Amino acid sequence: MSPSGHRGEIPAGSIPLAEASVDTLSRRRFLNLISASAALALGTTSCSRIDRGKIVPYTRKPEEVVPGVATYYASTFQEGVATQGVLVKTREGRPILVEGNAEHTVTRGKISLRAMADLLGLYDPDRLGRPSAGGVASTWEAAEQEIAQALKAARAAGVPVLLLTDTLMSPTRKALIEELRAAIPALRHAAWEPAVSQPEIFAARALFGEVLLPRLRFDRTEVILSLQDDFLGINGNAPSLARDFAARRAVSSAKDSMNRLWVIEGCMTLTGANADQRLQVRPSKIAPLAFALARVLNEVYGVPLPRDLNAGYLRPFELDAQARELGIEPPVLLALAEDLRRAGRSALVLAGAALPREAHVACHMLNGMLGAEGHTVDTDFAVPAPELLTFGALRDLLDEAGRGAFPIAIFWGTNPAYSFPDAAAWKSAVAKIPLKIRIGLYEDETALACRWRLPEHHWLEAWGDFEPAADLLSLRQPTIGAIHDTRQGEDILLACLRAMGREVPPTYHEYMKARWQREVYPGTSPASFEAFWDAALHDGLLRREARPRPPRVARTETFVEAMSEASAGSPGSQEDGLELVLLPGMTAYDGRYANNGWLNELPDPVTKATWGNPLLVSLSDAKRLRLEDGDLVTVSAGATSLEVPVLIQPGQSPGVAGLSVGLGRRTGNVATGVGVNAYPLMDVSSPSPNLRCSVNVARTGGRRAIPRTQEHDRMEGRDLARSWTLAEYALKAGGQEAGEHGHEVASLMPAQEFTGQKWSMVVDLSACIGCSACVIACQSENNVPVVGPERVLVGREMHWIRIDRYYDGNPAEPSVIHQPVLCQHCDDAPCEIVCPVNATTHSSDGLNQMAYNRCVGTRYCSNNCPFKVRRFNFFDYTSMKKEPESLVFNPEVTVRPRGVMEKCSFCIQRIQDVRQRANVESRPVRDGEIKPACAVACPAEAIAFGDLNDPESRVSKMSKMDRGYRMLAELGVKPSVTYLVDISNPMTGKGKA
């Protein structure tokens, strides 16, 4: 934010929306006097009924803060191996919103919905507030003392000390741990993440000897083949990937080229929902199919095989045979091969975490053959993936601990007590560790097993640096002083170092700065280090030139091994039982966000289920097992079994079930009792634990209703969300059907005129992937309450923007379309005329505005809203909040009490903010300057907002596109939101998939 824009709490000349006439004002004053005197006469003025509070100003006002004006900080969000550059919006030194940092070269302003939602985690009342020993509140001093002594003793005895952390993406943190190891030679450090794609690591290590984090260049990609890989969904970098992916789909004319997405998968993923061609294959059958494709590419289209690989090895992989076995038309597979060959190096093949190792090898093989390796799979500035324990390795480690190898264990961040499948191993291990220390945010399952529970800073309170790519360093800085008596995890380690008699800076902040001065700064900048450092913090990142790394070379033997494994058929591929895909959910991820109300209530983009993780089964399996939505079943694999409600998922391939991990936590007021913990179903010994074969499912007879925000999946032949294939688009372009702008309903009333601005929005259904980031952004920006499962169940969710997901065609293999629906701000809004108290009216710049405080709650407006976007406060939801949760509220938006109707306001507060700034700078509002929260958050840039009266503005141009139409225009309500028809690009001319 440029500071010159707004100083002073009340910017000069903010535009009044309604024209207040003079005599009204005088009358208002008159009536005020009357009532005042009346009150005086009745002697009731003494009882002022609302305490308006005291003014508490800054005693010494910091330079960067102006009360009532937002200050932004660049910082970094990290999760697993993904790091995202964020801008944190703070008000009076308190974060209230997390947005993307557009200057960040890797994520480029696109951040995941979890990054946005974790703001609520900062203010989570369940956070551990102060250190405690054995459940008794204690002090940091005591903790340091005891730990120091223990460490000293351990060093003296030379016994190993276990330090288990999550992924180490931070160079400085890595250095710190190195230093700690230097201080305690017997330190055993290990990093573990349950939500990492283990087979991928295996495959890469076997093939190339090293594991890299390549950058996927969808901007260079023509044809994508995703093998059960949900790169638009749970992938850590999904937002930035989605940006490039969608950029190639938002076509402006039928002649534009579009990328084509082929998806071969068993479970219906968000990526599968966006596929142009989708083939249903059980995960265990995908690897052979991939090799068969390679063979066809080689034999039919003469694509060379990898260096000195004997074509003979590909013999066993018969395309037709497999097609027959899988019930797929061979021509479709040939078409796929042909398509890949045509794309050549602009093709991209991806394999998902649920697939076995050999499938990933096959994926690398195809990329190599097509030349995609190094082009669309960009390894130029890739950094090696941090070392991570596999499930098996962690089990060995725990066994070792179980044999009493470690007198001291520090568990930092990662939560094995909950997420490690083999609970027995964990229990025996912790039983044998005398001193267990937990560094974490919550008193979670692992903390409960530890003596010392040391509360850690939330990432919004912490310092840090990350290295997402060789040419980029990303910085993290605190946006608020610690809310509780917590410390940064690194500071605790520094304390240990100090105890070991090392000379270390007092704080991690200093430590990091010192290291940067030593290692990063030299030769980077002419300016002084202070200036250099401040600039880096200001930008939140440091770009530096690095040499592109040489292309990777694959080991041929690995291909051969993989092929033999694939031809042997994966162990669990026998037909009995289901194949169960166990992947982290999009909201709770690996379980760390399970206590976040916003994320729990966010409907899953595909199933629209909230507050839980139902078992997704295919229609045919459901029929076979006589299952209905909400029936409880026992899922049993090997020794473990658990009870979970089922959800019948159209498009799920027969014999495949899906279940997301990360729920069923045992701690946390919000998390407890939500969903089931599916980790125990993972097979620790298996190389691909995310896929469990031969799983048995049996009805228990019980039922548990699944709270879904959308009960009805079909459009009933209504013309709401429109989808054309590229071919259809070519036909319709310019024709009658294209667009709805000619569609004017005759009216007896003269049309309303908007002089000046007329706000409007354009939503490109072709770009929208349905990821639901906008929902979280809106919730965070507009203080949208969380209502809880039982109220979602009766249909009282409060989201101002929802993503409608419709299935079309054959339910067994449907085509899917997503449509974000928010208040359409109709020019002739039906909700307005029926409000008896004028609580919802029309502004002179085309907004359908709600005066919350005038609303008495007749709910007539909701009945009369054809889009059903109005939300009603059936209870006083905010009164249920605990401190400090209410600090998360955006001070610019009224918090609505019970009995009041609410809805999308096009982020009026942002419109006014920009207007005021423009006024202060005495200039007109620039196009694209106003961005509603949803538009900012949308990774696919599917939402455009602006002034329709300005012919040059992006929206007025887009809304005139021949793909544009207004939903339910035939009702004559004249919506202000234009939708652009979704364009799909299938091989055959007949709709998606």
The answer to whether 841 touches 857, Cβ cutoff 8 Å, is no
Residue 143 corresponds to which tokens in the numbers above? 């903790």
Mention every residue, 6+ apart, whose C-beta is less than 8 A from residue 319: 292, 293, 295, 296, 330, 333, 334
Which CB sits closer to other proteins, 49 or 626? 49
Which CB sits closer to other proteins, 634 or 864? 864
Which CB sits closer to other proteins, 392 or 891? 891
Least distance from other proteins to the Cβ atom of residue 443, Å: 20
State phi, psi for 944 to the nearest 5 degrees: -120, 140
Least distance from other proteins to the Cβ atom of residue 32, Å: 5
What span, in angstroms and rounded, lies between the C-alpha atoms of 808 and 45? Answer: 64
Q: Give the position of tokens 């005020």.
A: 32
Least distance from other proteins to the Cβ atom of residue 797, Å: 8
Q: Give the position of tokens 């658990």.
A: 642
Please report the DSSP string for 104-142 in residue order. Answer: -TTTTT---HHHHHHHHHHT-TTB--S-EETTEE--HHH
Which CB sits closer to other proteins, 154 or 480? 480
Which CB sits closer to other proteins, 130 or 205? 130
CA-based Rg of the chain, rounded to a whole angstrom? 29
Least distance from other proteins to the Cβ atom of residue 28, Å: 5
Measuring CA to CA, which residue among 827, 773, 828, 764 is closest to residue 801?
773
Least distance from other proteins to the Cβ atom of residue 906, Å: 17
Distances in whole angstroms, Cα of residue 465 to Cα of each of 456, 458, 512, 747: 17, 15, 8, 61
The answer to whether 439 touches 467, Cβ cutoff 8 Å, is no
Q: Give the position of tokens 């050999």.
A: 358
Least distance from other proteins to the Cβ atom of residue 99, Å: 11
Residue 435 buriedness (CB in 10 A; 0-12 / 13-18 / 19+) = buried
Least distance from other proteins to the Cβ atom of residue 770, Å: 12
Secondary structure in 3-state letters for 241-293: HHHHHHHCCCCCCCCCCCCEEEEEECCCCHHHHCCCEEEECCHHHHHHHHHHH
Which CB sits closer to other proteins, 53 or 302? 53
Which CB sits closer to other proteins, 302 or 526? 526
DSSP character for 804?
A: E
Sheet holding 277-280, edge to edge: 277-280, 260-265, 223-227, 347-351
Which CB sits closer to other proteins, 140 or 852? 852
Least distance from other proteins to the Cβ atom of residue 713, Å: 8
Q: Give the position of tokens 């694939």.
A: 566
The dihedral formed by the CA atoms of 636, 649, 801 and 892, expressed in degrees to the nearest 10:
10
Least distance from other proteins to the Cβ atom of residue 748, Å: 8
What span, in angstroms and rounded, lies between the C-alpha atoms of 259 and 891? Answer: 43
What span, in angstroms and rounded, lies between the C-alpha atoms of 15 and 917? Answer: 11
Measuring CA to CA, which residue among 678, 650, 646 is closest to residue 662?
678
Which CB sits closer to other proteins, 168 or 834? 834
Least distance from other proteins to the Cβ atom of residue 38, Å: 7
What span, in angstroms and rounded, lies between the C-alpha atoms of 545 and 585? Answer: 36
Which CB sits closer to other proteins, 356 or 975? 975
Least distance from other proteins to the Cβ atom of residue 866, Å: 4
Residue 35 buriedness (CB in 10 A; 0-12 / 13-18 / 19+) = exposed
Which CB sits closer to other proteins, 92 or 927? 92
Which CB sits closer to other proteins, 129 or 673? 129
Least distance from other proteins to the Cβ atom of residue 894, Å: 6
Measuring CA to CA, which residue among 165, 127, 139 is closest to residue 493?
165
Which CB sits closer to other proteins, 37 or 574? 37
Helix (H) or strand (E) holding 697: strand 691-703
The answer to whether 97 touches 1, Cβ cutoff 8 Å, is no
Which CB sits closer to other proteins, 227 or 801? 801
Q: Peptide bond before 884: cis, by omega within 30 degrees of 0?
A: yes
Sheet holding 136-137, edge to edge: 136-137, 132-133, 452-455, 435-440, 408-412, 161-165, 187-191
Which CB sits closer to other proteins, 161 or 609? 609
E-strand stretches of 155-235? 161-165, 187-191, 215-216, 223-227
Least distance from other proteins to the Cβ atom of residue 432, Å: 41
Which CB sits closer to other proteins, 568 or 856? 856
Q: Three-state DSSP class for 334?
A: helix
Least distance from other proteins to the Cβ atom of residue 881, Å: 7
Least distance from other proteins to the Cβ atom of residue 724, Å: 20
Q: Give the position of tokens 């001070």.
A: 891
Which CB sits closer to other proteins, 87 or 184? 87
Mention every residue, 6+ apart, whose C-beta is less than 8 A from residue 105: 469, 471, 472, 541, 543
Measuring CA to CA, which residue among 978, 977, 981, 955 is closest to residue 732?
981
Which CB sits closer to other proteins, 496 or 821? 821
Mention every residue, 6+ apart, whose C-beta is less than 8 A from residue 530: none
The answer to whether 618 touches 649, Cβ cutoff 8 Å, is yes
